[in-house]
Amino acid sequence: MTIGIIERYYDYLPVTDKTPMLSLGEGNTPLVYAEHLSDALSAHVYLKLEGLNPTGSFKDRGMVMAVAKAKENGADAVICASTGNTSASAAAYAAKAGLNCFVVIPHGYVAAGKLAQAVLYGAKIIPIEGNFDQALEMVKVLGEHYSVEIVNSINPYRLEGQKTAAYEIIEKFGHSPHIVALPVGNAGNISAYWLGFKEAHEHQLCQSVPKMWGFQAEGAAAIVRNRKISNPETFATAIRIGDPASWKLAVKAREESGGIINDVTDDEIREAYYVLAEKEGVFCEPASAAAIAGLYKQAKVGEIPKDSTIVAILTGNGLKDPDSAMQKNSEPFKPIQATEEELVKNIFEVEV
Ligand SMILES: *Cc1c(COP(=O)(O)O)cnc(C)c1O
């Protein structure tokens, strides 16, 4: 039977013998070598496919911990604000744990697959006429006055669970890579990875720690600009956040690791999204591609040390956002007549 992250990393997590061994089989995600990207960037690039978690994003690592602790502490409901993946994950783990789940989302800005997940897992969905940052503010106030457990990444158990990905990377290599690149939205994940690498180093599981390279979308680059963005915009909706909750922790991760937090344009993200699919066979969601767009950007200015080992975190599964994928098709499909002649004509673009 597969075991999840609570059982596998029991010794490194704030769990007790009263913590339920909740799991949907999260963690232990593949680390795939990316030949094309390695060539293009003159480095050794590996892709950590977090989209292969049970609900299709890395959020499951943190959510299994947050929901297990909520259950342990006697909660009967969880709530979150979400750009989509947090709600999908919260809804699934709440279902598994027998808790009610409430999700507050920015109306019109949640990818179709993510919304479908929350609906089917049975969460109560409350869309607001506002963005993620406003949704999170509302959820925080509610959490103060009512007995519902907030499972956004301001819940410390989320980062604890998410840090397990750093342990997995060290296990696979036997040491730390030079660089870990990932997209930054609410900035919880970059903070969690850094926590994981630092801890693993303290436990002497590795001799060094990587530099943390985070990438925000240009229209939502609060940390890069060092100011809140009141109307964040990007087609990578999972990182469409103007006031990251873990802002300070992310800056600390950047500083302590000697890393960077930079921004990438939507065009650069889109290009990386296509390259990943066409050259590496990996279908991730747009936000995930920001990590790769960032690597290209750093390579252009000669910032990638030759032959360095880089792990890019592909945070979410491409199937969550079919609409973004279909935008690549410039024209709608037109069916042909069902004859061999028509097929040959269309495939080889010749008259027969
Ligand atoms: C949540 C999410 C992010 C952003 O992670 P943060 O911890 O909010 O910085 C990036 N990509 C995907 C697919 C996500 O679901």
- Give pLDDT, residue 1: 73
**Residue 348 CB contacts under 8 Å (≥ 6 apart), including other chains:** none
In this predicted structure, the answer to whether residue 352 has a pLDDT above a threshold of 70 is no
The phi and psi torsions of 311 (rounded to 5 degrees) equal -110, 120
Closest ligand 1 atom to Cα of 183: 10
Q: Above pLDDT 90, what percent of the chain?
A: 96
What is the Å distance from ligand 1's center to 244 Cα?
11
Tens of pLDDT, residue by residue over 145-190, are 999 999 999 999 999 999 999 999 999 999 999 999 999 999 999 9
Q: Counting atoms of ligand 1 from 1, which one is nearest the CA of 188?
A: 7
Mutational pocket test of ligand 1: of 29, 80, 83, the residue with most ligand atoms within 8 Å of the beta carbon: 83
User: Both tokens of residue 9?
Assistant: 């990393």
57 CA → ligand 1 middle, Å: 8
pLDDT value at 343 more than 80? yes
- Specify the pTM: 0.96
CA distance 80 to 57: 16
Q: How many CA atoms lie within 13 A of 198 on its CB side?
A: 13
Cα 339 to ligand 1 centroid, rounded to whole Å: 47
Residues 60 and 40: beta-carbon distance below 8 Å: no
User: Tens digits of per-residue pLDDT, 293-332?
Assistant: 999 999 999 999 999 999 999 999 999 999 999 999 989 9
- Tell how far the Cα of 206 is from the centroid of ligand 1, in angstroms: 26
Give the model's pLDDT for residue 2: 74
Q: Which residues contact 294 (CB under 8 A, 6 or more apart)?
A: 181, 213, 214, 215, 262, 264
> Please, where are the H alpha helices in 42-180?
59-72, 85-97, 112-121, 132-145, 156-162, 164-173
Q: Ligand 1 centroid to 11 CA: how many Å?
A: 26
Q: How far is the CA of 347 from the centre of ligand 1 (A)?
A: 40
Q: For atom 1 of ligand 1, which residue has the closest CA? A: 238
Residues with CB under 6 A from ligand 1: 57, 59, 85, 153, 183-189, 238-239, 285, 287-288, 315-316
